[in-house]
Amino acid sequence: MPGELDREIILDGCVNFRDVGGYVAAGGAVRWRRLFRSDALHALTAADVEVLRGLNLTTVIDLRSGFEREHDGPGPHPLAELSVRFVHAPIIDAGNGAIMADSSLTLAERYARIVETAAEPVAAAVTAIAASPGASVFHCAAGKDRTGMVSAVVLGALGVADDDVVADYAMTGAHLEAISAKLQGHPAYETTYQYVPKDAMTADAQTMSGFIAELRARHGDMGGFLRGAGVNTDLLRAALVA
């Protein structure tokens, strides 16, 4: 059984890939080696692909926009040879993109508004996680904002304690410098990165605490939010909690 030191999966083409298993949940614990979160996967090497093959990865959920994906470069996705199922569930698009740039809101408030305006793709992502026959990974560009939102609603719906959800988010803080370098080297962000609000390149605990409080105030809990979006949380629990 993997231990705490095994949470982070070291890969050449990613800087923020980790297991979200092991947390105490309602009725058990989140399964290890079943669900992963990550930054973008387009730069995975052949050696990385073999690592993920060994983790029985069967589902890849991309939370980025079509514009971002189009700039990943030519050729098939590195994981195409694994015959994984690819699910595209863009959390931020033309309809709600201005929210992330609204510095009159706290980052936590922006997260909450984005998740609520993106209830359909969030539900699609979580439903794909629940239905995955093997391990699944969900990712955005940095593995922090959109990925952090989905991680929080999934873990929260499973009954994981707020402190653990917050700590899971804050782990990205150790990788912010590498994430920044990776984003600045991606063609999709060459002209837009400089306009990103400074607080959007943080992974502070209070941001996730605030996000949880915002959603709880309006939906009761994360499970309530997901059920309102059409997710069968019983299936999610059956897939992820042992």
Catalytic residue ranges: 140
Residue 203: both structure tokens together: 């992974």
| Closest alpha carbon to 17 in 111, 186, 138 | 138
**Residue/partner pairs of 219-222 with CB below 8 Å, 24 or more apart:** 221/156, 221/157, 222/152, 222/153, 222/154, 222/155, 222/156, 222/157
Per the DSSP assignment, residues forming a β-bridge with 184 are: none
Which residues are within 8 A (CB) of 85 and not within 5 positions of it... i.e. 6 or more apart? 58, 59, 60, 128, 132
Which residues are within 8 A (CB) of 94 and not within 5 positions of it... i.e. 6 or more apart? none
Which alpha helices (H) appear in the chain, and where do they start and end? 46-54, 66-70, 97-100, 107-117, 119-131, 145-157, 162-170, 176-184, 205-219, 222-228, 233-240
